[in-house]
Amino acid sequence: MPEFAFADETFTTIGVVSNGYSVAGGVQETADIQCCPQDLPDPAPPNGVLAPFWTDLDGTGAPGVFAAELADGPNSWIVVEWRVNLVGTTSQRVFQQWLGVNGAEDVSFAYDPANLPAAPPSGELTVGAENSLGTAGEDLAPGADDPAPTEDLRVTSTPGPPGETLSYSFELKGVRAGTGEVRTTLRTPLVRGTTTDFDQITVEGT
């Protein structure tokens, strides 16, 4: 799919889950598919969540989930529309997610004002978004007493402050002249995955 920008990152894939949310960067594992909504942000998967109406939904007996690319002159969007039922019922909820694919962040959730999706009887509903680490985000719903959206919503983000720095040193012993590669790795719960640094070291003969 075309690139879209979100939370200071650029993505070319998105995973769409029937439970009313999508995952920027695609669904990577089973844990990315959850029926019960989280309060955002949440470092537990799924992360990179865009949730126009996250609750326990089901496509059985409903039209399902649709996606299309729409254009208006120079502007274009990837639009995802959910037409799904509350699980175990025939009570349908309809809503959309729009992703601008023009380089700048342009993310919004759209709802038919004549057919606003009501919150489920359980009250378990999240409307909001979070970054790909699950460390920053926000619930956008009006409030806990009535978490359902009442109008279209726009998702905006600002880059976080610069992170901390780390300095380290080590000693190497050259056993013969030549150039070799030294690899160092760093693992921390504050950064996803492993940070790896490669350095070319030259040992000169005497």
pLDDT in tens, 160-191: 666 667 677 777 777 778 887 877 877 765 56
Can you say how many angstroms the Cα of residue 9 is from the centroid of all Cα atoms in its chain? 10
What's phi and psi for 24, nearest 5 deg?
-65, 125
In a domain, 145, yes or no: yes
Which tops the pLDDT comparison, 73 or 52? 52
| Percentage of the residues of the chain whose pLDDT score is greater than 70 | 91
Q: What is the CA radius of gyration of the chain?
A: 22
Q: What is the mean pLDDT of residues 123-134?
A: 94
Phi first, then psi: what are they for 172, rounded to 5°? -120, 150
pLDDT-derived band at 120 (thresholds 50, 70, 90) equals very high
What is the per-residue pLDDT for 180?
Answer: 79
What single DSSP character describes residue 145? S
Mean pLDDT of 132-142: 89
Predicted local distance difference test score (pLDDT) of residue 189: 58
Residue numbers of the domain that contains 42: 4-155
Residue-level pLDDT at 204: 80
| Lookup: tokens for 132 | 């790909």
Task: Classify residue 192: in a domain, yes or no.
Answer: no
Arithmetic mean of pLDDT over the chain: 89
15 in any annotated domain: yes
Higher pLDDT, 68 or 186: 68
> Contact 150/162 with Cβ under 8 angstroms?
no
Residue 125 lies in a domain: yes
In degrees and rounded to multiples of 5, residue 179 shows phi and psi of -115, 130
Whether 69 is in a domain gets the answer yes
pTM for the whole structure: 0.78
Digit-coded pLDDT (tens) for 145-155: 678 999 999 99
- DSSP assignment of 84-136 equals EEETTS--EEEEEEEEE-SSS--EEEE--TTSPPPPPTT---EEEEE-TTSSS
pLDDT of 139 over the 90 cut: yes
- Residue 31 has φ and ψ, to the nearest 5°, of -65, -15
The separation between CA 90 and the C-alpha centre of its own chain, rounded to angstroms, equals 29
Q: Is 58 exposed, middle or buried (0-12, 13-18, 19+ CB in 10 A)?
A: middle
User: What tens digit of pLDDT does each residue of 5-45 get?
Assistant: 999 999 999 999 999 999 999 998 899 999 999 999 999 99
The verdict on residue 166 lying in a domain is: no
203 lies in some domain: no
Give the pLDDT confidence score for residue 170 in this predicted structure: 73
Number of compact structural domains in the chain: 1
In a domain, 190, yes or no: no
